Copies of this chain bind each other. A is one copy, B any other.
Amino acid sequence: MEQPDQITACLIIIGNEILSGRTQDANLAVIGKKCDTLGIRLTEARVIPDDEEDIVTTVNICRAEFTYVFTTGGIGPTHDDITAAAIARAFDVAVERNEEAVNALDRYYEPGLLTEARLKMADIPEGARLIDNPVSGAPGFQLENVFVLPGVPSIMEAMFDGLTGRLVGGDPILTENILTNLPESVIATGLEAVQEKYPDVSMGSYPYFKKGKLGVNLVLRGIDSARMNAAAEDLSATILGLDGKVLKRLSPGMTS
């Protein structure tokens, strides 16, 4: 389905705590939505441990394959925060104490509180461009097409929002949801027929069980709002033709 001229992205989530199930990742969903709005297709995410070898290998594979690579996690002041060093190794550059980053930390901390441990957060790969952190001082950084962000979701999101000017996407990807009471197996054949009619609109079918009721959330995604609308009309008609109900319909641009 991927077009060769598509702008793609991969998210690398760095953190043992995500893999052990201790922490529930919240960054993938946020970045996925923001990429849609920017017209960037987030076509892969990888969750890897706080392990230098793993980070180097994964970053080097992904930065060759995708237009943009985002990483989250591992840029704090403790011994398990090894992302900056690993990214430097992936690009074969040194880590240096970045003066601009020291200044950013200095503005954030009260006089006297910018300890050596905190200063570690200003150790950034040579040649990197900083990503401003409006929440807690410590910056992220960009090296070529790799954007290094923190793991704490609220801080990550604020920093990602500051990136918009650096990310060049295509047409925004629109989403339309149709909620029906029909089970997946009843809608399957009709859905496939509509999908074949609109190959430029990607259609997904997601069953749900809510309050004891079974149903399906049909999700349409595409870039042409007229085609999206026509496909949604066709699908709604298909549902009604099967004696089903259209419980809810959310139009392009609205979040569900």
Question: Which residues of A are at the interface with B, using a C-beta cutoff of 8 A?
Answer: 1-2, 15-26, 28-33, 36, 42-51, 54, 76-81, 115-118, 120, 152, 154, 173, 175, 177, 184-189, 191-192, 195, 202-207, 209, 219, 221, 256
A205-B76 CB under 8 A given contacts A46-B44, A117-B185: yes
A32 touches B21 (CB 8 A): yes
What are the nearest 3 A-B pairs in CB distance? Answer: A21-B32, A21-B33, A117-B188
B31 touches A21 (CB 8 A): yes
A39 to chain B, nearest CB (A): 13
For A28, give its contact among B47, B115, B195 (CB under 8 Å): B47
Contacts of A32 in B (CB 8 A): 18-22
A47 touches B44 (CB 8 A): yes
Contacts of A152 in B (CB 8 A): 207, 209
For A29, give its contact among B24, B79, B80, B202 (CB under 8 Å): B24
Q: Which of A2, A154, A206 has the most CB of B within 10 A?
A: A206
